[in-house]
Amino acid sequence: FKRAAAPLVRELNAIELRQRENEYQKTLELERQPQKTYRGPTL
């Protein structure tokens, strides 16, 4: 079972890492930009 699940676990870990990196990038961008722009959605 472990041998069959290994690729799946590796893929899940990769996805998790990617999501964490995306969130990290978002927070960096939020910190870089002035807070005024994040009062509400600007369309």
pLDDT in tens, 17-40: 999 999 999 998 888 776 665 566
Residue 11 lies in a domain: yes
Q: What's the domain range around 14?
A: 2-31
Residue 37 lies in a domain: no
Give the CA dihedral 13, 15, 21, 27, nearest 10 degrees. Answer: -120
Residue 38 lies in a domain: no
Q: Residue 18: what pLDDT?
A: 97
Q: Residue 29: what pLDDT?
A: 86
E strand or H helix at 25: helix 2-32
30 and 38 in contact (C-beta within 8 Å)? yes
Q: Residue 14: what pLDDT?
A: 96
For 3-15, how does the pLDDT look when each residue is reduced to its tens digit (9 = 90+)?
A: 778 888 999 999 9
